[in-house]
């Protein structure tokens, strides 16, 4: 039996819209192929919004730790002065 060749899925569909792409109309950015510049911008904005949402949920937890550190440092300095 003949072995099947590996087919690279380089430009089968647009990463944003899912449209079939022709070789002439490929728009390559950030390791993906898009139908056009507008599709790339839509995908890029969607990625930025997802990062912002993920960052917003992590920021409150990250801001609590630095607030505790100065309070502990102040207590240590007060103990050193008293002791």
pLDDT above 70: residue 11: no
Q: Regarding predicted confidence, which is higher, 60 or 82?
A: 82
Position 26 confidence tier, pLDDT thresholds 50, 70, 90 = confident
What pLDDT was estimated at residue 3? Answer: 60
What is the rounded average pLDDT of the residues 27-33?
Answer: 88
Say yes or no to pLDDT of 46 above 70. Answer: yes
Give mean pLDDT, residues 57-73. 59
Closest by Cα among 48, 24, 49, 28 to 37 = 28
Mean pLDDT of 46-63: 78
Q: How far apart are CA 59 and CA 68, in angstroms?
A: 15
H-run or E-run covering 28:
strand 27-29
What does the pLDDT read at residue 25? 78
pLDDT of residue 43: 94
Boundaries of every domain in the chain: 23-82
């Amino acid at each position: 039996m003949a072995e099947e060749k590996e087919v690279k899925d380089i430009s089968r569909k647009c990463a944003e819209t899912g449209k079939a792409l022709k070789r002439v109309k490929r728009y390559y950015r950030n390791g993906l192929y898009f139908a056009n510049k507008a599709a790339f911008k839509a995908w890029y904005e969607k990625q930025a919004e997802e990062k912002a949402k993920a960052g917003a949920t992590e920021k409150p937890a990250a801001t609590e730790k630095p607030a505790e550190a100065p309070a502990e440092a102040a207590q240590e300095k007060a103990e050193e002065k008293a002791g």
